A and B are shown apart, each in its own frame.
Chain A
């Protein structure tokens, strides 16, 4: 029975990784851009929420609502002034610019908040748990997993039910033809990055409430996110959920055998999946 419990904890942890990965997946799906600063933006978001919670005494869930439009604006502006200029056939410019951003964000946070670990406190929520019969699970991990599913459902609705989503899909398929049809691709890309930053903010909230964080842990979150995206198959949101869950379960199982193996077993799971299915589990045609 202990194994059932472990697997359930892993699945719930996978919810957090799915949240990390969804923003990355969204941006890659629409503009083929891999943002190497994605993990650092998650940590940045966590600090924004932390500031709102500790300095203004807000409830974390209220703080995240205030942080969302701020992060959206940040993503929008970043895309307009910087990232739109490096999107194209060449792979090096976007990689280097976002890698530079990653270094800058990390060190700005280090300068502003020192290397001390921080945590977003949410009182009773952090210790509350429910008995599911086979296992007792924390309310917070359950909420994280639920949020991941909700985020995916909303994104799917935006993608397939709205005119914005139509523009997203059109630009994703063929930016040149899309712009001939009157779609302002620069603006579409900026909105997409803005939305990705909103998802980043949500994942930052759960990251910050679940465990302590410091400015240096962003790159590792980027790697988990990336692994989840690749396992799921590029551009598939539900695939990303499966990818996140696989990484989460692998990590928790590894940690159950030997605590030092937690991170390693997540990576090994990723490598195995990729060796067996080079295009991920649910590849989308044409991507």
Chain B
């Protein structure tokens, strides 16, 4: 295709290049944020970052893979519980234990996928939910980590956590604040890797196949896209990332219980609304969605149930009247793309552009 230098396939636009540079600067700034803000702001940022990762992975599943799971709490739960188990039972340092949490979620995803892929559409959704319930009920029997009531992270483990002493010295803070900073950095690394990784995936040939599967399964298969393998890859990758996030979230919370770690509302409902309100099937959507969620939460969290009613109603409203979410409305109006994945054919000598297909 690219035998001539006159033609090239591009995804970049000028706005996206500028945005990319801003983003790199923003990430560099974010690294130094713990020195600049108060502890409560840092905790808010931690919340935003971790929810963003969960939302990106759910978006990868539902928005790109067409796999609408409402059982993601299974992976948050198992990730955080194996994280705690590794610390308490096997004396692993909490930082490497995070990785074990991710791997545990990956391992759990294999039987769940084997089971749930037999179900289609809405039944897949509830099937994943049943799997999450089963996992929760089994974990609640695990007496060494507190059974149904849960447990706290041992004091020694918190003290000896890699890097926490260094952080405490450099920032001149107490051990508990050092834990928040460490958790924040881990979350930041995860966000960068997640968004970078998903963006990279979507720009590869495999990502194109994924979009094809999402848009039309039969057509995609007829041109040789292995839809089943694609589903497996997406499901396992999402589970791994969700498990890692779960472990980091509970590293920061330092206290765990089955009902909290396997909460449908916290780890799936919120995530779902973030993606839908922000704009499903885009990388930008979840970023906007998490900011909307955080704003709503800051304004209305004191009203408890009314906040959740508002959130549910907003989700319904968006789905009925603007199914592509806030970011969908913005791109419709402006054509803006910050993480462009649409492939466009550019002809270099004439400087004019031809647009490729819509969702490529």
Q: How many residues of A are counted as interface, with CB atoms below 8 angstroms from the partner's CB atoms?
A: 40
Partner among B68, B115, B265 whose Cβ is within 8 Å of the Cβ of A92: B68
A108 at the interface (CB under 8 A from B): yes
List, in ascending order, chain B residues with CB within 8 A of A97's CB: 315-316, 319-320
Q: For the complex formed, measure the closest distance between the CB of B29 and the CB atoms of chain A, giving whole angstroms.
A: 35
Q: Which residues of B from 114 to 133 have beta carbons under 8 Å from A?
A: 115, 118-119, 121-123, 125-126, 129-130, 133
Task: Report A-chain residues with C-beta under 8 Å of the C-beta of B280.
Answer: 92
Within 8 A of B (CB), among A78-96: 82, 85-86, 91-96
A260 to B258, CA, bound (A): 14
Chain A residues with CB under 8 A of B269: 99, 103
**Pairwise interchain contact A103-B123, C-beta atoms closer than 8 A:** no
13 A-B residue pairs with Cβ-Cβ distance under 8 Å, sorted by A, are A34-B123, A34-B125, A36-B122, A86-B319, A92-B62, A96-B319, A100-B316, A107-B309, A227-B130, A230-B119, A268-B134, A271-B134, A274-B118
Interface string of B60-76 (1 = CB under 8 A from A): 00100010101000000
CB-based closest 3 A-B pairs: A103-B312, A34-B122, A100-B315
A230:B123 contact, CB within 8 angstroms: yes
Known: A100-B312, A107-B308. A278 touches B118 (CB 8 A): yes
A102: B residues at CB distance < 8 A: 312
The residue on B at minimum CB distance from A271 is: B115
The answer on a CB contact under 8 Å between B305 and A111 is yes
Q: Are B130 and A260 in contact (CB under 8 A)?
A: no
Q: Does A267 contact B (CB under 8 A)?
A: yes
Known contacts: A223-B133, A275-B115. The answer to whether A104 contacts B68 by CB under 8 A is: no
* Contact of A8 with B by CB under 8 A: no
Interface of A is mostly: helix
Contact of B126 among A101, A106, A110, A226 (CB under 8 A): A226
Residues of B within 8 A of A222 (CB): 126
Assess whether A263 is interfacial by the CB under 8 Å rule.
Answer: yes
Interface flag for B98 (CB, 8 Å): no
Task: Give the chain B neighbours of A237 by CB distance below 8 A.
Answer: none
Cβ-based interface call for B187 (8 A): no
- For residues 227 through 275 of chain B, which have their beta carbon under 8 Å from a beta carbon of chain A? 264-265, 269, 272-273
Tally A-B pairs: CB < 8 A. Answer: 110
Those of A44-60 within 8 Å (CB) of chain B: none
- In-complex Cβ contact of A95 among B122, B130, B134, B264 (8 A): B122
Contact (A267, B312) CB under 8 Å given A92-B62, A278-B118? no
The answer to whether A223 touches B118, judged by C-beta atoms less than 8 angstroms apart, is no
A99 contacts B115, CB within 8 Å?
no
Q: Does B168 contact A (CB under 8 A)?
A: no
Q: Say whether, besides A96-B272, A96-B276, A267-B137, A103 and B126 are in contact (CB < 8 Å).
A: no
Q: Could you tell me which residues of chain B, from 150 to 198, have a CB within 8 Å of some CB in chain A?
A: none
Please measure, in the bound complex, the distance between the C-alpha atom of A225 and the C-alpha atom of B92, giving whole angstroms.
42
* A277 → chain B closest CB, angstroms: 10
B7 at the interface (CB under 8 A from A): no
Docked Cα-Cα span, A268 to B130, in Å, equals 10
Chain B contacts with A in 50-97, Cβ cutoff 8 A: 62, 66, 68, 70
| Known contacts A99-B272, A264-B134: A82-B141 contact under CB 8 Å | no
Interchain CA distance A82-B276 in the complex, whole Å? 17
Most chain B CB atoms below 10 A, which of A104, A110, A260:
A104
The answer to whether A107 touches B264, judged by C-beta atoms less than 8 angstroms apart, is: no
A226-282 residues with Cβ-Cβ distance < 8 A to B are 226-227, 230, 260, 263-264, 267-268, 270-271, 274-275, 278
Q: Is the CB of B130 within 8 A of A267?
A: yes
Least CB distance, B109 to chain A, in whole angstroms: 16
List residues of B (129-146) whose CB comes within 8 Å of A's CBs.
Answer: 129-130, 133-134, 137-138, 140-141
What is the distance, in angstroms, from A260's C-beta to the closest C-beta of chain B? 7
Contact B265 A103 (CB under 8 A): yes
Chain B residues with Cβ below 8 Å from A99 are 70, 269, 272, 315
B134 and chain A: residue at smallest CB distance: A267
A219 close to chain B: CB less than 8 A:
yes
Question: Which residues of chain B are within 8 angstroms of A270 by Cβ–Cβ distance?
Answer: 130
With a cutoff of 8 Å between Cβ atoms, the chain A residues found around residue B306 in the complex are: 107, 111
Contacting residues, chain A, for B316 (C-beta < 8 A): 82, 96-97, 100-101, 104
* Shortest distance from the beta carbon of B314 to any chain A beta carbon, whole Å: 8
Question: Is B323 an interface position by the 8 A CB rule?
Answer: yes
Instruction: Give CA–CA (A120, B277) in the complex, Å.
Output: 39
Q: Which residues of B contact A108 (CB under 8 A)?
A: 305, 309
Which residues in B have their C-beta under 8 angstroms from that of A86?
Answer: 319-320
A-chain residues with CB within 8 Å of residue B70 when the two chains form the complex: 36, 95, 99
A227 CA to B134 CA, complexed, in Å = 13
Q: Is the Cβ of A93 less than 8 Å from the Cβ of B134?
A: no
Which one of B68, B312, B320, B323 lies within 8 Å of A82 (CB-CB)?
Answer: B320
Q: Which residues of B contact A100 (CB under 8 A)?
A: 273, 312-313, 315-316, 319
Decide yes or no: A104 and B276 within 8 Å by CB, A96-B319, A264-B134 being known contacts: no
Distance between B339 CB and nearest chain A CB, rounded to angstroms: 21
Q: How far is the CB of B132 from chain A (nearest CB, A)?
A: 10
Q: Are B319 and A260 in contact (CB under 8 A)?
A: no
Q: Which residues in window 96-118 of B have CB below 8 A to A?
A: 115, 118
Q: Which of A96, A107, A271 meets B305, CB within 8 Å?
A: A107
